[in-house]
Amino acid sequence: METAGKQIIDQFGRVHDYLRISLTERCNLRCFYCMPEEGIALRPRSVFMNKKEIVEVAKTFVSLGVNKIRLTGGEPLVRSDVREIIQALSQLPVDLAITTNGVLVDNFIDTFKSVGLKSINVSLDSLQKEKSNRITRREYFDKIMSNINLLIKNNFHVKLNAVIIRDVNDDELIDFIEFTKYNNVHFRFIEFMPFDGNKWDWQKGVSFKEIMNTIDLKYSNSVLRLADRKNDTAKNFMIKDYFGTFAVISSVSNPFCDTCNRIRLTADGKIKNCLFSNSETDILSALRKGKDIQHLILETINNKKSFRGGMNTFEQLSDSAQRNKNRTMVAIGG
């Protein structure tokens, strides 16, 4: 196991320097692809990381070479002490970012500005109010759109995430692209992924190839391929002379495992090596017992599978028994 240069390296030589911390399993939306219709069982606060533990764990990861931290959920902004957590983590030598559903963003603009947090991902699966409310099972569309416009106005780096699902929102692909015509946003189209409770069926999925065929049919030679950044999960594009950009995240049909640098930490202090992985490592319990968690981190990442958490075939992805061993998306943290 390699640790030279304070890096977290797996057995395939991939350096892991990007930590995604889930702050909560709670959410003020109920998106059907993320949370079961019946919700998830609420657990006592004691099973989750408190503010001090989050900061302590983050410092350990930073000491091992992590240079980017993204806060996720659930919905991270529903957590009562999220301001203090953001302020504390902003003191670390990392690029700090957040993923949110956008409902509460207006309450935190000043906090984001004060700590220099500029990168904000917002989930937006439809530009149609009625459809958005059906997908989220809540009626916050107007508030979300208002807050997206607020972020744009305040010059935040805004990424909009849309999970593309057949016969749900695949008919809006061109509308999503047109949103980038005058708005400085990066619209990302994400393939429908399997998780516990979301009734996944790849027949509902829309692949990278299908998405690009639809876009090419409309825009033809105006589609420009952009350079992808190192470790990028997305294939990036823009339409000639449009203000914003777009991308496709093809986790199912064309995964990006070879360059994966991500570590996921659940709200209850478990490391997940991959969104698709069934296995977890409990570092919170070790931390609370005063044990060294560095070796757990290094050992866990060293044992990471080469490809999609070990799920190499569509048959494995389609196996509901395997999916049920995994968490719901809301309990993983995206």
Could you report the per-residue pLDDT of 274-307, keeping only the tens digit for each? 877 778 999 999 999 999 999 999 999 999 988 7
Quote the tokens at residue 8: 């977290």
pLDDT of residue 204: 87
Q: With residue 62 as reference, give the H or E element that holds it.
A: helix 51-63
Q: Is the pLDDT of residue 198 over 50?
A: no
Weakest mean pLDDT among 99-103, 237-241, 287-291, 329-333: 329-333
Say how many C-beta atoms besides its own lie within 10 A of residue 51's C-beta: 16
User: Element (H or E) spanning 261, and its range?
Assistant: none
In this predicted structure, the answer to whether residue 131 has a pLDDT above a threshold of 80 is yes
> What is the reported pLDDT for 210?
96
Distance CA 171, CA 30 (A): 22
Please report where in the chains the tokens 């091992």 appear, as a residue: 64
| Mean pLDDT to the nearest integer, 105-131 | 98
pLDDT at 2 over 60: no
Does 196 have pLDDT greater than 90? no
Mean pLDDT of the chain: 89
pLDDT of residue 4: 46
208-230: average pLDDT: 95
- Euclidean distance between CA atoms 79 and 248, whole angstroms: 30
Across 104-126, average pLDDT: 98
Long-range (24+ apart) CB contacts under 8 A made by 43-50 are 43/268, 47/268, 48/24, 48/267, 48/268, 48/269, 49/267, 49/268, 49/269, 49/284
CB atoms within 10 A of CB 289: 8
- b vs e for 7-42, b when ≥16 Cβ sit within 10 Å of the residue's Cβ? ebbbeeebbbbbbbbbbbbbbebbbbbbbbeeebee
13: left (phi over 0), alpha (psi -120 to 50) or beta: left
Output the pLDDT for position 328.
62
- pLDDT of 186 strictly over 50: yes
Beta-bridge partners for 323: none
Residue-level pLDDT at 274:
83
Give all domains of the chain, ordered by start, each with its CATH number. 18-332 (3.20.20.70)
Which structure tokens are listed for 326? 């995994």
Q: How large a percentage of the chain has pLDDT more than 70?
A: 87
- The answer to which of 39-43, 65-69, 168-172 has the lowest mean pLDDT is 39-43
Q: Grade residue 40 by pLDDT with cuts at 50, 70 and 90.
A: confident
- The whole-angstrom separation of Cα 269 and Cα 260 is 21
Q: What is the pLDDT of residue 199?
A: 58
State the pLDDT at residue 84: 98
The pLDDT value recorded for residue 1 is: 37
Rg of the Cα trace of the chain? 19
Q: pTM to 2 decimals?
A: 0.90
250 three-class SS: coil
Q: How confident is the model at residue 314 (pLDDT cuts 50, 70, 90)?
A: low
Range of lowest pLDDT (54-68, 171-185, 187-201): 187-201
Confidence at 56, pLDDT banded by 50, 70, 90: very high
Q: Which helix (H) or strand (E) holds 210?
A: helix 208-219
